């Protein structure tokens, strides 16, 4: 098999016109360069130079130098790309995140990554936690950001912060005048619009005869539009209420369990790609330096993994 190293030595000798100058350029001894040329000619079965002085190429030598230069250029470009991908400077990353995280937290992180590493490609899918878990488990995306998966799933969860739930209603809604955090009993007799973000915390479709929801929506934009239209109130994570307009109010709930835990979701026993690890580090830096919850409420950091290489 012809080695790229042997071709590199041959091209250097052909360009320099003698072994001594080529050896100096390559940082090799004259004898090592001479031996490499002899091995290459032996493998080819024909001489590459007309004489031992190495300043004139044979017809074969001329063709080999042309092809070798092309091969070595491609080889060098490929190895540079491999090194860049291994360092997280190039590559592709697919992320699935719950809508509030995708809209409120990811834009500055992704923008910074693309500015620093122009060779990377990132695809972001925003969806509910259940769908996100499926995307990670099937390998459709490498990383998910959202709620904790089922304990028996083939997924690994790294919790990052707690995100309390809020009741979102119009400013003229009866509950909007409450001066204290709302209790579960306060929500009775009021129409609530259910959504996927409360699954496992507030089951608004089966929560009692007076509170059961007859209307549901998955998209936050649709939910808020329904609330503005007077269809009812809804419960959303605080992160999703950071940019609501003045026609709506986001009210605290008097229930310490009324919160979701947001974290990284990866396939169990998998090793994140360098670009994925680089993204996780940047996202962790953002979480550490930012008040995640609105209204000045500082998020509660949970388990911090070590710096991801």
In terms of pLDDT, which residue wins out, 210 or 115?
Answer: 115
Mean pLDDT (whole number) for 271-279: 88
Q: From 144, 170, 116, 163, select the one nearest 268 (Cα to Cα).
A: 144
Please name which of 193, 200, 194, 202 lies closest in space to residue 255, comparing C-alpha atoms: 202
Looking at per-residue confidence, does 218 or 44 come out higher? 44
Task: Please name every residue paired with 250 in a beta bridge, in sequence order, or none if there are none.
Answer: 168
- pLDDT of residue 22 exceeding 80, the answer is yes
Exposure on the CB side of residue 257, measured as CA atoms within 13 A: 5
- The answer to whether the beta carbons of residues 227 and 233 sit under 8 Å apart is yes
pLDDT for 213 equals 58
pLDDT average, residue stretch 183-199: 82
What confidence score (pLDDT) does residue 300 get? 44
Higher-pLDDT residue of 252, 308: 252
Q: Residue 217 has what pLDDT?
A: 86
Mean pLDDT of the chain: 85
Tell me: pLDDT of 202 over 70: no
Q: Quick one: average pLDDT of 230-256? A: 90
Distance, CA of 158 to CA of 185 (rounded, Å) = 34
* 271 vs 62: which has the higher pLDDT: 62
CA angle at 216 for the pair 210 and 219, rounded to the nearest 5°: 145
CB 300 within 8 A of CB 162: yes
163 and 237 in contact (C-beta within 8 Å)? Answer: yes
Q: Which whole number is the average pLDDT over 197-208? A: 53
| Mean pLDDT, range 24-50, rounded to an integer | 94
Coil vs helix vs strand at 268:
coil
* pLDDT for 301 beyond 50: no
For the chain, how many residues are written?
309
- Spatial contact of 175 and 254, defined as CB atoms under 8 Å apart: no
* 148-190 confidence digits (pLDDT tens): 998 877 899 999 999 999 999 999 999 998 888 998 888 888 8
Distance separating alpha carbons of residues 116 and 253, to the nearest angstrom:
41
Task: Inform me whether the pLDDT recorded for 120 exceeds 70.
Answer: yes
Instruction: Please report the pLDDT score of residue 303 as a whole number.
Output: 43
CB-side neighbour CA atoms (13 Å) of 177: 3
How high is the pLDDT of residue 124? 96
Q: What pLDDT is stored for residue 200 in this prediction?
A: 57
Whole-number pLDDT of residue 216: 85
Domains of the chain: 4-86 (1.10.10.10), 90-161+260-289 (3.40.190.10), 163-259 (3.40.190.10)
Which pLDDT band, with edges at 50, 70 and 90, does 257 fall under? confident
Direct distance between the N- and C-terminal alpha carbons of the chain, in angstroms, rounded to an integer: 36
Question: Can you spell out the DSSP letters for 171-211?
Answer: TTSGGGG-SSPBPGGGGTTS-EEE-GGGTTT--TTSS-TTT
Residue for token pair 């409120």: 104
pLDDT > 90? residue 249: yes
- Tell me the per-residue pLDDT of 83-108, one tens digit each, with 9 for 90 and over: 877 776 778 899 999 999 999 999 99
- Higher-confidence residue of 88 and 255: namely 255
User: Does 29 have pLDDT greater than 80?
Assistant: yes
Query: Any alpha helices (H) in 27-148, and if so which ranges?
Result: 30-44, 59-86, 99-104, 106-116, 129-137
Residue (of 289, 251, 40, 269) closest to 161 by Cα position = 289
Rounded CA separation 184/164 (Å): 15
Instruction: Give the model's pLDDT for residue 291.
Output: 60
Q: Work out the angle at residue 241's Cα, subtended by the Cα atoms of residues 262 and 104, and round it to the nearest 5 degrees.
A: 60
- The two tokens of residue 179 are 């001066």
Is residue 259 over pLDDT 70? yes
Assess whether pLDDT exceeds 70 at residue 293. no
Least confident of 54-63, 147-156, 293-302: 293-302
Coil vs helix vs strand at 103: helix
């Amino acid at each position: 098999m012809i080695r790229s190293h042997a071709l590199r030595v041959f091209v250097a000798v052909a360009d320099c016109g003698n072994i001594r100058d080529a050896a100096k350029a390559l940082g090799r001894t004259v004898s090592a360069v001479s031996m490499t040329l002899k091995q290459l000619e032996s493998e080819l079965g024909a001489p590459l130079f007309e004489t031992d002085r190495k300043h004139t190429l044979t017809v074969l030598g001329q063709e080999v130098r042309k092809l070798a230069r092309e091969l070595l250029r491609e080889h060098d470009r490929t190895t540079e790309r491999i090194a860049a991908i291994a360092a997280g400077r190039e590559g592709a990353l697919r992320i699935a995140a719950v809508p509030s995280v995708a809209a409120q937290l990811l834009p500055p992180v992704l923008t910074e990554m693309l500015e620093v590493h122009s060779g990377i490609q990132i695809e972001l899918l925003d969806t509910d936690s259940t769908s996100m878990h499926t995307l990670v488990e099937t390998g459709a995306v490498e990383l998910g950001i959202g709620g904790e998966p089922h304990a028996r799933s083939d997924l690994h969860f790294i919790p990052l912060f707690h995100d309390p739930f809020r009741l979102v209603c119009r400013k003229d809604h009866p509950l909007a005048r409450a001066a204290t955090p709302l209790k579960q009993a306060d929500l009775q007799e009021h129409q609530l619009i259910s959504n996927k973000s409360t699954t496992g915390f507030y089951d608004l479709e089966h929560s009692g005869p007076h509170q059961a929801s007859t209307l549901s929506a998955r998209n936050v934009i649709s939910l808020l539009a329904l609330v503005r239209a007077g269809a009812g109130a809804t419960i959303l994570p605080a992160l999703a209420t950071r940019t609501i307009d003045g026609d709506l109010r986001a009210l605290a709930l008097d229930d310490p369990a009324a919160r979701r835990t947001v974290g990284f979701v990866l396939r169990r026993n998998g090793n994140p790609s360098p670009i994925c690890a680089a993204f996780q580090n940047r996202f962790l830096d953002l979480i550490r330096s930012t008040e995640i919850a609105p209204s000045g409420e500082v998020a509660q950091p949970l388990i911090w993994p070590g710096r991801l290489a």
